[in-house]
């Protein structure tokens, strides 16, 4: 296999950018306060700033020793896990320091460019810090909750335990089943992007509702957002998306371009079928008439996977 074919095979088999991690979460350590206290003294720390950014230098997070974080206000240490060499990692919410060569970056800006370890660390840290920020009080009594088990539990005054939430959502590339450059995929432009300089199109997505399977959610969301009938979605893979706490379940599903598109005006400003030729032109920079999802998203992974004929 030559280098070009090897590179293509690697691209086809790669996981979504934020599904990568080399960290052992070591959940059995969470119930050991003494181990956590000792681990904190030798830990490397991801600091998540008030605007959800972290310091990045090149393709790596800037990690601080636990002693370095004392110089700035920070929240409770949240245990993330350990590396194979035994190094423990924690996250805190606090002010970002000024460090030469480092810049504050959002996860969606740099996730695809980070190393496997750092993509996993940033994703996990952002999700956990965000949950603690939003769940300081018990939902029943309104009383403050306290942090336990290395940040993976909050306990209320009545002793009830509260665990980090994850909301399942489906995200799907609807295609026409046609191979080659003229094969088409259905993408939509969300109303939240209406003020952007140029229109951006992405795969369709939506939350799984109570009592609903992921497959049923795919069929329902496509019908609700675009009026297109689909069936038999095929699962591809998943990726956490901590904005604030979603788990994106990726699917492919086939639709008929001859069926009229009827967009939900509360969800989409536009939806249309794009050929592989059109998508490829945007990705290689030869066409800038519209935008596509950032490379850190599973939407980009699904689009590139379809573009390669999978």
Q: Is residue 120 within 8 Å of 21, Cβ to Cβ?
A: yes
Taking only the tens of pLDDT, the chain with its 310 residues reads 343 334 444 444 478 999 999 999 999 999 999 999 999 999 999 999 999 999 999 999 999 999 887 665 567 999 999 999 999 999 999 999 899 999 999 999 999 999 999 999 999 999 999 999 999 999 999 999 999 999 999 999 999 999 999 999 999 999 999 999 999 999 999 998 877 788 999 999 999 999 999 999 999 999 999 999 999 999 999 999 999 999 999 999 999 999 999 999 999 999 999 999 999 999 999 999 999 999 999 999 999 999 998 7
- At residue 7, the pLDDT reads 41
* CATH class of this structure's domain 3-162: alpha beta
Q: In the chain, which segments carry CATH 3.90.79.10? A: 167-307
Tell me the C-alpha distance between 32 and 169, whole Å. Answer: 33
Longest dimension (CA), the chain: 64
- At residue 263, the pLDDT reads 95
**Buried (b) or exposed (e) across 120-133, using 16+ Cβ within 10 A?**
bbbbbbbbbbbbbe
Which distant-in-sequence residues (6+ apart) come within 8 Å of 283 by Cβ? 292, 304, 307
Domain 167-307: which topology?
Answer: Nucleoside Triphosphate Pyrophosphohydrolase (3.90.79)
pTM for the structure as a whole: 0.91
Residues linked to residue 170 through DSSP beta bridges, in sequence order: 206, 249
Tell me the C-alpha distance between 240 and 204, whole Å. Answer: 17
Which distant-in-sequence residues (6+ apart) come within 8 Å of 212 by Cβ? 220
Q: In the chain, which segments carry CATH 3.90.79.20? A: 3-162
- At residue 71, the pLDDT reads 61
Which distant-in-sequence residues (6+ apart) come within 8 Å of 171 by Cβ? 203, 204, 205, 248, 249, 250, 251, 298, 299, 302
């Amino acid at each position: 296999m030559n280098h070009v074919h090897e590179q293509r095979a690697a691209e086809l088999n790669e996981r979504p950018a934020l599904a990568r991690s080399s960290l052992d979460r070591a959940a059995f350590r969470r119930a050991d306060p003494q181990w956590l206290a000792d681990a904190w003294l030798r830990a490397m720390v991801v600091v998540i700033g008030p605007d959800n950014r972290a310091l990045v230098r090149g393709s790596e997070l800037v990690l601080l020793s636990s002693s370095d974080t004392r110089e700035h206000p920070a929240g409770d240490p949240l245990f993330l896990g350990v590396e194979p060499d035994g190094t423990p990692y924690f996250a805190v919410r606090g002010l970002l320091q000024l460090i030469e060569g480092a810049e504050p970056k959002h996860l969606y800006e740099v996730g695809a460019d980070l190393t496997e370890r750092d993509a996993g660390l940033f994703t996990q840290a952002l999700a956990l810090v965000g949950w603690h920020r939003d769940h300081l009080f018990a939902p029943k009594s309104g009383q403050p909750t306290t942090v336990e088990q290395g940040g993976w539990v909050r306990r209320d005054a009545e002793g009830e335990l509260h665990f980090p939430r994850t909301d399942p959502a489906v995200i799907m590339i609807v295609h026409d089943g046609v191979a080659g450059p003229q094969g088409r995929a259905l993408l939509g432009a969300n109303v939240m992007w209406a003020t952007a300089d140029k229109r951006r199109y992405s795969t369709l997505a939506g939350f799984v509702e109570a009592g609903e399977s992921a497959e049923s959610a795919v069929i329902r969301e496509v019908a609700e957002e675009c009026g297109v009938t689909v069936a038999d979605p095929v699962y591809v893979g998943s990726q956490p998306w901590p904005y604030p706490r979603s788990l994106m379940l990726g699917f492919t599903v086939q639709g008929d371009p001859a069926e009229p598109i009827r967009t939900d005006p509360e969800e989409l400003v536009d939806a249309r079928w794009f050929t592989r030729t059109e998508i490829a032109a945007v990705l290689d920079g030869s066409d800038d008439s519209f935008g596509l999802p950032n490379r850190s998203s599973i939407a980009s992974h699904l689009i590139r996977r379809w573009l390669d004929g999978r």
